[in-house]
Chain A
Amino acid sequence: MKPEKLEGHEEALITGLQAGNEADFQQAVRFYTPGMLAVARFYLDHANAEEVVQDCWVSVIDAIRKFEGRSGLKTWLHRIVANRCKNKLRSNKKEVITDFSETLDPELADRFNASGRWAVPPKLQFHDSAEALLENGALSNCLDKHLSALPETQRSALMLYEVHQHKSADVCNILDVSASNLRVLLHRARQKIFLMVETFQETGEC
């Protein structure tokens, strides 16, 4: 089974994991680890995030036996990661600070005049569909680069909501943010991507 085909075959996978089938674990690790890392990176630096995700997988070996399927496997895994991260933060007494007061990206905000009209309007209508844009390897790499440069809070919200298509209630739960703050995170992150694509289409540069 290819990793991208795992969804929809979740029940069979869960049975395999519960039985301790190593091959099923390997599939699951490849399919779910990127999302779990995205969750962990909301709270922790890269090295600590990797450590938490590794520990989670080991704990899953026992915990999966009690998994009752009340939530999806992905949501369940993400919740385990989030809880572990919070515990780690509590023990390190670090705080996660995020500013939710500004809805507009500063770069975009600068493009309006005092009366609230566009001073520097969008350069052009993107001429390609998202699908066509993604086929452009250079743009895809550029997207990678910009996503990893996003503030961690924005990136996690974006990864969970758009890329991994979690429901917003689940994302709020995992990341421990209010629904309105999640909207701010998403909007800020999308604006960054908008600005990136605009520059790329205009100049061909990342």
Chain B
Amino acid sequence: MLMCRDLAEIASDYIDNELGTRQNLSVKMHLMMCKHCRSFIGNLRTSTELLKGYSSGRADDELMRRIDHNISEALAARKARDDEEK
């Protein structure tokens, strides 16, 4: 029988529909009987959705400016090369 701990181990696979039919069914059966695991799955699902809505990597302005500067120089070099080939 599937125990709460077993369910916790495969909870992400359940949320992402990555389980086989048999395992999926035993999770569903367990969830019908166990309110703690229902809470757990519900909360893990919310946590996952939280990440989907999260806008990552607050742009580090200093890094962006350095990259802009490098690109600007490299583009100028590329243009000079292209002009020479013409």
Residues in A lying within 8 Å of B, measured CB to CB: 20, 22, 25-26, 29-30, 33-35, 37-38, 50, 53-54, 57-58, 61-62, 103-104, 108-109, 112, 115-118, 121-122, 124-126, 128-131, 133-134, 140, 143-144, 147, 158-159, 162-165, 183, 186-187, 190-191, 193-194, 197-198
Contacts and interface: CB of A to CB of B under 8 A. Distances in A.
Contact of B48 (A118, A121, A143, A190): A190
A53 B10 CA distance: 35
B54 to A, nearest CB: 6
Nearest to A144: B58
B53 to A, nearest CB: 5
B11 interface: yes
Interface of B: 3-6, 8-13, 18, 36-37, 39-40, 42-44, 46-59, 63-64, 66-68, 70-72, 74-75, 78-79
A197 B50 contact: yes
B3 to A, nearest CB: 3
A198 B42 CA distance: 12
Contacts of A164: 56
